[in-house]
Amino acid sequence: MRLISWNVNGLRAIVKKDFYASVEALSPDVLCLQETKMQKGQCDIELPGYTQLYNSADRKGYSGTAVFARVPMLSNTMGIGVDLHDHEGRVITCEFDDFFLVNCYTPNSQNELRRLSYRMQWEDDFREYLVGLNAQKPVVLCGDLNVAHEEIDLKNPKTNHHNAGFTDEERSKFTELLEAGFIDSFRHFYPDLTGAYSWWSYIGGARARNAGWRIDYFVVADQLKDRMADPKIHSSIMGSDHCPVELTIIPKEA
């Protein structure tokens, strides 16, 4: 199953660019989007053959996730069942035959880390949610997780230390998630690859200089380790300040 995750930074905006051509070229079985910034019905997305799911924030024009699937799913749920977190449209969970796919847009700790304490609560509650799912069947988590885990995952680690997305606290929570039974799929295949980024600031020509961060992930349950294949970062695909990331889950042997 070919999975694509992409923070589109506004779904209504990106469809006016090369979004449809990019999706056609990527040909995902499941496309997970973050930061859609729209309510369902505000924009008609023309992807024939795909079931469309939306989880929108209560606040219009903010956050939001979507899933487009051309393979059958058993069920889907919105949010994580914690009222504190479930008003910003940040999570969609899709159940397939032998795994859960969780599409997530993690809260940003924001300038001056004014939302860091909330982010820490989110991390603990979200990890508990994932571990609970994983006890039922293996989990594939994808999305913009708003953290560069290690120094190799961003261009300028020293000048960004203690900034949102590269604080010790956020990085430690990501480590806790991995220690709870999960794998950073990209680093599993490419442990030492430098210059592999999925987000670039719009400021200062960062993308042209590849001064970026890797904050978009597929984090996969240990049980699926041998079924992961072809992780990719599609840095040449434009339209957002993020690019799509990809992972294939090989079908389970009969």
pLDDT digit string, tens, across residues 74-94: 999 999 999 999 999 999 999
Pairing mode, strands 91-95 and 30-34: unpaired
| pLDDT at position 254 over 70 | no
The predicted model gives 209-226 an average pLDDT of 98
What's the mean pLDDT when you consider all of the chain?
A: 97
Inter-residue contact 147 to 174 (CB < 8 Å): yes
pLDDT of residue 41: 85
Taking the CA atoms of the chain, what radius of gyration do you get in angstroms? 17
Whether 230 is catalytic is no
Both tokens of 142, joined, read 């994808």
Q: How confident is the model at residue 40 (pLDDT cuts 50, 70, 90)?
A: confident
Q: Does residue 33 come out as left (phi exceeding 0), alpha (psi in the -120 to 50 range) or beta?
A: beta
The predicted model gives 60-69 an average pLDDT of 97
Which member of 105, 129, 197, 217 is catalytic?
A: 105
56 or 253: which leads in pLDDT:
56
The predicted model gives 183-187 an average pLDDT of 98
Cα–Cα distance measured from residue 242 to residue 8, given in angstroms and rounded to the nearest whole number: 7
The predicted model gives 10-36 an average pLDDT of 97
Inter-residue contact 174 to 149 (CB < 8 Å): yes
| pLDDT at position 253 over 90 | no
Which member of 50, 129, 144, 184 is catalytic?
A: 144
pLDDT of residue 93: 99
pLDDT of residue 252: 86
Whether 144 is catalytic is yes
Cα–Cα distance measured from residue 96 to residue 137, given in angstroms and rounded to the nearest whole number: 10
